[in-house]
Amino acid sequence: MISQADAEQYIRLTCKQYGVHIPVYFCMRLTQSKRTMGFYRFHKRNAFAPRDIRLSHETLASFPLLHHVLMHEICHYLDNKERGKMVGNGRRLNCHGPNFKKWCRKVGIVPTTFVPKNLMPTKEQSAAIRQKIS
Ligand SMILES: [Zn+2]
């Protein structure tokens, strides 16, 4: 398990490396899906107005998991920055499309929508994290 302080240091340096100038927050589970552990948020009405990245506390289970989820969200940011428009008719446009996948390959992560099964925290790791943050 990674301490939140260590994770925050890693996040700060990684964001600096990729020119990501939005805040990154830790939250409790983000959605119903256990395999969604991060969220890239932008202002819905603007073509390009990034807001923040949210990471589930569960990403603290292991460094490879934290790295994967952070880089996945950074790829959304880079895709958004390059393509501009990410929303149309109130819906997200092709957010895991070819340009997103191109960025994943560039930064060296598997271009999946959900966290790959081999990176998922074990039950014990999840329980330890929940205990620590409660
Ligand atoms: Zn995504």
Q: In angstroms, what is the span from residue 96 Cα to ligand 1's centroid? A: 6
Q: In angstroms, what is the span from residue 134 Cα to ligand 1's centroid? A: 27
Q: In angstroms, what is the span from residue 32 Cα to ligand 1's centroid? A: 15
Q: What is the token pair recorded at 63?
A: 């460094």
With 0.75 as the threshold, say if the pTM is over it. yes
> What's 97's domain CATH number?
3.30.2010.10
The Cα–Cα gap between 86 and 24 comes to: 20
Encode pLDDT of 7-26 as tens digits.
999 999 999 999 999 999 99
Q: In angstroms, what is the span from residue 100 Cα to ligand 1's centroid? A: 9
Domain that holds residue 50: 4-133
Q: In angstroms, what is the span from residue 113 Cα to ligand 1's centroid? A: 5
- Please report, to the nearest 10 degrees, the dihedral formed by the alpha carbons of residues 41, 16, 115, 52 taken in order: -10
How much is the pLDDT for 27?
87
Encode pLDDT of 43-61 as tens digits.
766 656 778 999 999 999 9
Q: In angstroms, what is the span from residue 69 Cα to ligand 1's centroid? A: 9
The structural domain count of the chain equals: 1
Encode pLDDT of 23-43 as tens digits.
999 987 666 677 889 999 887
Q: In the chain, where does DSSP find H-type helix?
A: 4-17, 63-83, 98-107, 123-133
Encode pLDDT of 91-124 as tens digits.
667 789 999 999 999 999 999 999 999 999 999 9
One-letter amino acid of 26? F
